[in-house]
Amino acid sequence: MTRGPVLTGEIARLRPIEATDADRMWESLQDPEAMRLTGTTADFDREQIDEWARTVSDRPGRYDWALRQPASGSAPGLPWPWLRARRDRPGAALRLRR
């Protein structure tokens, strides 16, 4: 089980993605601007998103976090409030395009 740590700072809290994040992810995938900003070109159905949100944090070799506001636990007003890191690629990525 990969899961990963919960990271909390003054302006952001990162926690492993969980099944409850699927609704927000689905909403983001319905927004053409969010798709453009993240460079997402694939089409996904709701079942795929539910499965991904439920299982991604248990996949070996990667860490996927939901970005939240520390005080409220709510997602900030970003089109795609998630971060990803992989063991085979040092660093973390939040893809936003112009």
**22: which DSSP letter?**
H
Residue with tokens 């970003």: 78
CB 31 within 8 A of CB 22: no
Distance in angstroms (rounded) separating the CA atoms of residues 86 and 92: 7
pTM over 0.75: no
Domain layout of the chain by residue ranges: 7-88
pLDDT confidence of residue 35: 81
Q: Which CATH architecture has domain 7-88?
A: 3-Layer(aba) Sandwich (3.40)
Residue with tokens 């709510």: 74
Give the mean pLDDT per block of 10 residues along the chain (98 residues). Answer: 77 86 87 80 92 90 80 65 59 49
Torsion of CA 56, 27, 35, 55, to 10 degrees: 10
pLDDT confidence of residue 19: 92
End-to-end Cα distance, the chain: 35
pLDDT confidence of residue 77: 58
